[in-house]
Structure 1
Amino acid sequence: MKKVGIIGGSGFIGSYNTQKFLNEGYQVKVSTTDLSKKEKYEHLLSLKNAENLEIAQLDVENKQELMDFLKDCQIVIHGGTPFQLDVKDLQKELFDPTIKGTENFLEAVLKTPGIEKVVFIASVAAYNTNFPFLPAGKTEGEQITENDAPFMSEQGIPYAQAKFIANQAVDKFIADHPNLSFEITSVSPTGVMGKSLSNRQDSTSTGIQFLFKNKIAPNPFIQMIYDMDVLWALVDVEDVADAIFKAATTKNTHGKNYLLSGESYRVSDVTLMLNNQSPVGKPEIVYSSELAMKDLGIAFKPVSIPLNNYSS
């Protein structure tokens, strides 16, 4: 039985990753920043095959703890960077764990024997820090693909900038180490939607769905999204977990970063679907997932499915 280590395996996407690998017969080690805070991970203990689950404490900025966590893992999924839009200390709460944590992780992986595959859960921000707005040079009706030059704007939200820089660190590591004994593959989902597997209240993905469902604007950024009725690219959280599993178990995907996106709808239509009503507009495909469909065999669900699941 192979062992997979999932950094961030109790979060919104991470919980679905943990569930997927347990269902597929893997031993799964999941990180948590504090073992004493059981409310962060206790929902995982009731998953099917949870007897094959191990919870381990990990600070991604602590190199020794990283080495201990990676030991005996053949596959490692790194999704442990914070997804926060409102932070008080950008460096401490966002940039250090995202960028320095990624660099430390890569250094630890290099020193750990037996690893066969590393999968990074990046972000659409790796291709466009302006998300959900279009990158410079693109207009409505045009698609964004992995072949487009990544767009970085200093006007982008700090979370997006941190994810962009972390992805650059991964690319540099791959370029600097041409003869690795393992593969590194990344996935970059757009707006991840669906029902949380936990009752935690600190998930940004779940929080965004709550805001859109109830038309709440806690800050000027969200208000601007409503005012402009932004075209929002969405993807089902179950499809993301499926793509991560396929990326982890498919050979010859080294160095690739797959865009994961289903349909795009106006935010007003997202609100309707979150309230189990039919959208007014037609879906568009803004971020192309053709490469993930071709290489990984992913069939992306209509986004009405995860939006309806959130409300169920």
Structure 2
Amino acid sequence: MDEMEAMNGTTVCVTGASGFFASWLVMRLLQKGYNVRGTVRDPGNEEKVGHLWKLPGAKERLQLVKADLLIDGSFDDAVNGCQGVFHTASPVVTVKSDPKTEILDPAIAGTLNVLRSCKKNESVKRVILTSSSSAVRVRTDFDPSVPLNESSWGSVELCERLQLWYPLAKILAENAAWDFAEKNNLDMVVVLPTFIIGPSLPPDLSSTASDVLGLLKGETKRFAMHGRMGYVHIDDVARCHILVYEEARAKGRYICSSDVLDNSELAQILAQRYPHLNIPTRFENIWGTRHPYTYDTSKLKNLGFEFKGTIDKMFDDCIASLIDQAYLPKQGK
């Protein structure tokens, strides 16, 4: 991509537009002057999409269209005429009975479905795929003294053995996407965010926000599974996506992570900052010995990116949002 079009008048597509992160991305794209075409399963469901219509610029430059990850060709109309496509939509992360049917197949098939629609439309200049840092870090064969970078890939065998279906889905879907992009000469850039923290625009909490809410209410089970985790502010992730779309130099994968903390470190910070909340101080160690790790984000920073969301700010913004939406009591209540 030699030259990016000016954002005014440029139309981009955001898949899964009503989701936790996608909603924030839509907001930032609208603020920058883009025309945004968002895909949702039911554009007429006011409970699911109403928050999008409240965004500044939405009435003038937002269009919501129906699309389904598992219906072949479902994204053809949504992508038609768009210069950029942000594929953020992903299947649910909870397994009820069959992980292959419920998570793995939808993640892979859905991603390829979107990419096929992009390939059909010559207007599409670049695709930005939202993957996950779990596609980098879920492995044991690394030197903990060397930060993980974009060349690292999670272990399929380890994910299968520990039944880590979400990271497995991300690894397999991203691999399939790269294979398709290379065979079809599709300009694709992948963003690998760590645990996204920040305000929730949708009224229904995502699995990420639900995990945080559980932690703030004293639950430890879901966070115990993490052990050690990278964290990043939702606004930094949105800005990262827009940067790698607009920046002609952007190529390949980009880790998007602000801080990496053990559960105990995070709990200590939050307990001191929010003494009125029942934040746990001890976590069960589900997986046994965990290798310490950090991330090398120099590739993203070399594009001129600066992380603005500190741990304090991302959780301050998240908690303020949870209080505003009445999921948490106000301080002193």
Higher-Rg member (1/2): 2
Unaligned runs of 5+ in 1: none
Q: Which structure 2 residues correspond to residues 69-84 of structure 1 after superposition, within 5 A?
A: 69-84=78-93
The one-letter amino acid of 2:233's match is: D
Moved more, 79-88 or 182-191: 79-88
Taking the aligned partners of 1:247 and 1:78, their CA distance within structure 2 comes to 13
Q: How far is the alpha carbon of 1:63 from its aligned partner? A: 2.4
Match status 1:187 vs 2:191: yes
Residue 9 of structure 1 pairs with residue 12 of structure 2: no
SS at match of 2:232: strand
Percent sequence identity is: 22
SS in 2 for 1:295: coil
Please state how far the C-alpha of 1:311 moved relative to its aligned partner: 1.2
Secondary structure of 1:234's aligned partner: strand
* TM-score scaled by length of structure 1: 0.86
**CA contact under 8 A between 1:213 and 1:272: conserved in structure 2?**
no
Q: Deviations over 1:83-104 (max 9, x none)?
A: 5134444233312221011112
- Runs of at least 5 residues in structure 2 that lack an aligned partner in the other structure: 1-8, 276-280, 282-291, 321-333
Shifted more, 84-93 versus 237-246: the winner is: 84-93
CA change 1:216–1:48 in 2 (3 A) is: same
After superposition, the Cα gap between the structure-2 partners of 1:92 and 1:224, relative to the gap in structure 1 and judged at 3 Å, is closer
Moved more, 149-158 or 100-109: 149-158
**What RMSD, in angstroms, separates the aligned Cα atoms of the two structures?**
2.3
Q: Distance in 2 between matches of 1:194 and 1:12?
A: 9
Give matches, 1:106-255, under 5 Å.
106-128=115-137, 130=138, 135-138=139-142, 140-152=144-156, 153=158, 154=160, 155-177=162-184, 180=185, 183-201=187-205, 203-217=206-220, 222-223=223-224, 225=226, 230-254=227-251
Q: TM-score, normalised by structure 2?
A: 0.81
Kindly state the Cα deviation for residue 268 of structure 1 after the two structures are TM-superposed: 2.8
* Equivalent in the alignment of 2:263: 267
Distance 1:24 1:301 in 2: 20
| CA distance in structure 1 between the aligned counterparts of 2:225 and 2:112, rounded to whole angstroms | 34
Match for residue 34 of structure 2? 26
C-alpha distance in structure 2 between counterparts of 1:121 and 1:47, whole Å:
22
Q: Equivalents in 1 of 2:189, 2:13: separation in Å?
A: 15
CA shift for structure 1 position 190:
0.8
The answer as to whether partners of 1:187 and 1:257 remain within 8 angstroms in 2 is yes
The count of corresponding residues between Structure 1 and Structure 2 is 293
